[in-house]
Amino acid sequence: MNSPIGPLVIVGLFSYCIATIFMSMYTTTTLCLLHSLYADVDICNQKSYDQMVGMNRPVEMQSLVGDMSKTQPLIK
């Protein structure tokens, strides 16, 4: 081989494909957690519960809601 360009392009494309797969899994997980938070807030609004308490919220989101309640109220 006289030029390293060919192998570098192949390794670059392979790395890009693997990184895209892992980032899509991260994105899906993040969106799932946010959708469950918004669904819980909506359920609380429909049943006239306190939005900050939440009945069906993921444990991971409880600290986020606490931080949000200090800065601004959730959408009513």
Structural domain of 59: 5-71
As for how many domains the chain has, the answer is 1
Domain membership of residue 16 (yes or no) is yes
Tokens of 16: 């890009």
**What are 17-76's pLDDT values in tens digits?**
999 999 999 999 889 888 888 888 788 888 887 777 766 776 777 777 767 666 555 555
Task: Establish if 76 belongs to a structural domain.
Answer: no
pTM: 0.57
Q: How far lies 47's CA from each of 3, 43, 55, 62, 74, in Å?
A: 68, 6, 11, 19, 16
Q: Is residue 25 domain-resident? A: yes
DSSP letters, 12-49, are HHHHHHHHHHHHHHHHHHHHHHHHHHHHHHHHHHHTT-
Q: Which residue has the tokens 């959408």?
A: 75
In a domain, 59, yes or no: yes
